[in-house]
Amino acid sequence: WQYPALISVPFFVSAMFGATHHKWKRTGVKLAVALTICTVLFSPGTPLMSRLSINWALPVPNSETLLMQQALETLDQNASVLAQENIFPNIAERRIAYTYWPANYSPPDYIVINVLDLDFYRTPDEQSTRDALFGFLSTQNYGIIENVNGFFILKKDYDGQKNVLVPLHLSLQLDQVHKKINSFEDQFLETHFFVPDLVKVEGDHLLLSKNFSGNAWWGPYITVPPGRYKIEVKYSLSETTERAVFGLSAYWFKHATYGEKTIWGNQTLPGQIGTVSVEFETSDWVPALEIVGTGFGNADVSVYSVTMLEVQ
């Protein structure tokens, strides 16, 4: 976010200097053109800049961002720090701080990430912060010292307890589910849930109709550290049946299944909101945790919420 202010001013000053010292004709027009070009190229509010990374925008202060700032105060003053791109401005004044770690440097003392932020997974032109994290985890011992809902500070050679200011949690937001899949890559967009067109978003719930069979939602492919987690789904049925109505599972694709449960049509009364949960534990970092709901086509199922919570 700081680069437009740093770059645009020298460009405009250089244009004014050249126009006035060389006594060109129509200086005013040229200055206006220079100002227009600088505005289009470097102003955060222009369409061009809005197509770039969200790092150009300052984060909106809230209770969690204040806790993140509090967590950053635990970093030792002279320690080396690796931080993902949109966190880096908060530690940029340090002597050894990078978003891409130099190959000839010793591993960083601290790694600062946010697993609920897309920038952790997708970084243009370089390896992602997730790739860097797992590279260091394969050769070094890093322990979490601070946790603010997925904003983790890892310290080298740390084996103590982590300070959990806000447990990791996320939920399927009905107004943010991805209904259109434009490419294979879109099916694996981290931090997002996907819902097929056959599953309808109706007001405050997803509707898995009686004639629907298949995956009703999947995602968000987030990285999670070792720990205990709970997935909770609130739902209701249109009728009572002795058959299975939908399934719930948590796994890392093609590697491990951490928890799964089948929900039957006689576990709740028609129209009554029921709750089903799956608890599981991971002994190591999971690169891409996926939560999947599967409809079996034996009843109309209304799903009101899908939530994952780190259990303390």
Q: Is the pLDDT of residue 41 over 70?
A: no
pLDDT score at 134: 96
Tell me the mean pLDDT in the region 112-124. 89
Cis before residue 196, ω within 30 degrees of 0? Answer: no
Q: Is the pLDDT of residue 126 over 50?
A: yes
pLDDT score at 221: 92
Question: Which long-range CB contacts under 8 A does 140-148 form with residues at least 24 apart?
Answer: 140/107, 142/111, 144/225, 145/74, 146/71, 146/74, 147/310, 148/64, 148/67, 148/68, 148/71
- The rounded distance, in Å, linking the Cα atoms of 249 and 201 is 21
Q: Is the pLDDT of residue 125 over 90?
A: no
Query: What's the chain's average pLDDT?
Result: 85
176-223 confidence digits (pLDDT tens): 787 655 554 555 678 889 998 889 999 899 999 998 999 999 999 999
Say which range, 12-16, 89-93, 107-111, 211-215, has the weakest mean pLDDT: 12-16
Q: Which amino acid is present at 75?
A: L
Taken in order of first residue, the domains within the chain and their CATH numbers are 3-54 (no CATH), 63-166 (no CATH), 170-311 (2.60.120.260)
